[in-house]
Amino acid sequence: YSYSHLGIEEQMWDYEGKEVDPHVVKKLLSKNEAFFREHKLGRDCFLTLRVPNPSYERNEAKILIETLEGIPRSYDVAREFYGEDIPPIFEVILPMTTSWRDIERVLCYYKNFVVGKQDKPVAKGDITLAEWIGPFRPESINVIPLIEDVKHIVKADELLREFLRRHPVPYQRVFLARSDPALNYGYISAFLAAEVGLQRLYDLQEEMGIPIYPILGAGSAPFRGNLKPANVDNCLQSYPSVQTFTIQSAFKYDYPFEQVRQAIERIKGYPRRKPREVDEERSLEIIRKYAPRYRSAVESLAGLINHIASHVPRRRKRKLHIGLYGYSREVGKVHLPRAIRFCAALYSIGAPPEVIGLEALSEEDIAYLCQDPNFKRDLRDALIWGNEDILFDLFPELKGKLGFIEYETSKEHRAITAKIYETYSQNGEELTQLITEAAYLRGFLG
C-alpha cells in the first residue's frame, strides 16, 4: 500500500520489539508481482530493516543475528525474481545508537561473520561454504544510526566523525528521533536538539567531504514533530537539510487519500538545502534551563498519565522491549508509556504536552524560539486541543505564560476532555471510547 498507492519510496521493516515476518521480500515479490516487475525493489523502491541494538536489548540481541543472516537469503530471492543482481536489502537501522562502536559492530559482524564465512571450508579439506550453498550477497551493508536522546543528538557529528574516519563510505545516513527526545526532555528540547544536530551534521559533511543524509522521525502530533499532510511545507521549512521524513500511521491513514498522496509528492519533490542557521550555545542553554522543569512537571503527573494511557487503544503489535530508557520510558524517578500513548493521555484531558515546562523560560528565550515561525505554529496547533480549565488546574504556573500565542480551542474537543477528566478514575470501555472520539477530532491518536 505504501509503495503502490501512496508513492512512498522506502519502507522501514521493524524487527525491534515487534512480531514480524522474516520472509518479507519473498512475500512482497510473489504477492505483488506486477508492481515489483515495474518497480524494482532495491533500485526504485527500498526496504530498510530496523534491528535490535544488543548493547541495550539483551533479550532481543540474537534477533539482530537472525536478521543479518537473512539478508543474503533475500538477495537470492530477488536475483531469481529479476534475473539480475539487485540487493533488495542493503541498509539496516540501529536504534539507540550512542557510540561509533555500535555502528561498527553491526557493519563488521555482517562483513566478517555473515559474508566472511563463505570462504571457510565446510569441513577440514572440504569445499567452501560458498561452493556448497552459493555466494553470500551483498558483500557489505550500510548501517544507519538511530540517535534517540538529546545529549547524543546534539553530538551526532562527534559520533559519526570517528566512524567515518575508520570506515570511509560513499555516503552516510543518520536517523534523528523526534518523539522519544520530546517525551524524555520536552517538546522544546527535542525541537532545539534536532536543529543543533542537523546543523552540526551539515558542518561534518562539509568537513569530511562525505554526503550525510539525515532522516527525521517525526509524528503527526506537534509534540512529535507536527508532520501531517496539512503541515508538510512548514516542516520542510523548519528542517530543510533533512533528506528523509518518516511517514507514520496517522499521516497515512487518518487523512483523505488524495491529500496524503499530494503531501508525500511535495516531500519527495522538495530540494534539500542547508539547515536553518541556529545559535547552538543559546539553544543548548535553553535546553539546560527547560528540561529539568519539564521532567519535574511530568513526574508529578505520572500516576494520572499512566492511568489514562492504559485506556488508549493500541494501534500496533509490540513485544516486550527494554530500551535506552526502558520501553516504558523513565523520566526522573517514574516510568511513563511510550510517546504515542503519553501524548494521547495528555491530549485526552486537554493538557497539550507541548506547553509543559514553558514557564521556565524568559521572554528573551521565547523571543529566540519565535525566530522560527513554526515554533508558535506548533504551539497554536497543540492548544487547539487544550482545555484551559484543566490545563491551568494541573499547571497553575502556566497562567499568563501563553499570551504570545494567538489560539482558539475546539469546543467539541474541550467537551470530551472535560468528561474524560471528570470520569477517568472509572475504568471501562467508555473511557477508551471517549479517548478515541477525541483522537478522531484531532486527526491523530498521540
Specify burial of residue 328 (Cβ count, 10 A radius: 0-12, 13-18, 19+).
middle
- When divided into structural domains, the chain yields a total of 2
Residues 257 and 304 in one domain: no
* Residue 4 lies inside a defined structural domain of this protein: no
Secondary structure of 141-161 in the HEC alphabet? CEEEEEECCHHHHCCHHHHHH
Residues 303 and 252 in one domain: no
Residues 340 and 428 in one domain: yes
* Residue 187 lies inside a defined structural domain of this protein: yes
Q: Which residue has the higher pLDDT, 314 or 440?
A: 440
Q: What is the pTM of this model?
A: 0.92
Residues 322 and 231 in one domain: no
Residues 391 and 432 in one domain: yes
* Residue 108 lies inside a defined structural domain of this protein: yes
Instruction: Answer yes or no: is pLDDT of 17 > 80.
Output: no
Q: Which domain holds residue 47?
A: 10-269
Residues 163 and 133 in one domain: yes
List, for residues 206-248, the tens digit of each pLDDT value: 999 999 999 999 999 999 999 999 999 999 999 999 999 999 9
Q: Which residues contact 445 (CB under 8 A, 6 or more apart)?
A: 250, 312, 313, 315, 340, 343, 344, 439
- With cell 485506556, the residue in question is 311
Question: What pairs with residue 380 in β-bridges?
Answer: none
List, for residues 66-95, the tens digit of each pLDDT value: 999 999 999 999 999 999 999 999 999 999
CATH of the domain at 46: 3.20.20.60
Residue 1's pLDDT band (cuts 50, 70, 90): confident
Instruction: Answer yes or no: is pLDDT of 18 > 70.
Output: no
Residues 47 and 136 in one domain: yes
**Angstrom distance (rounded) from CA 320 to CA 423:** 30
Instruction: Answer yes or no: is pLDDT of 325 > 70.
Output: no
Residues 156 and 252 in one domain: yes
| Domain final residue pick, 269, 289, 318 | 269
* Residue 260 lies inside a defined structural domain of this protein: yes
* Residue 274 lies inside a defined structural domain of this protein: no
Note whether 246 and 10 are within 8 A (CB): no
| Domain final residue pick, 269, 300, 319 | 269
* Residue 205 lies inside a defined structural domain of this protein: yes
Residues 19 and 112 in one domain: yes
* Residue 257 lies inside a defined structural domain of this protein: yes
Residue 384's pLDDT band (cuts 50, 70, 90): very high
Q: Which of 281, 324, 284, 275 is nearest to 99 (CA)?
A: 324
Residue 428's pLDDT band (cuts 50, 70, 90): confident
Residues 132 and 241 in one domain: yes
Residues 250 and 178 in one domain: yes
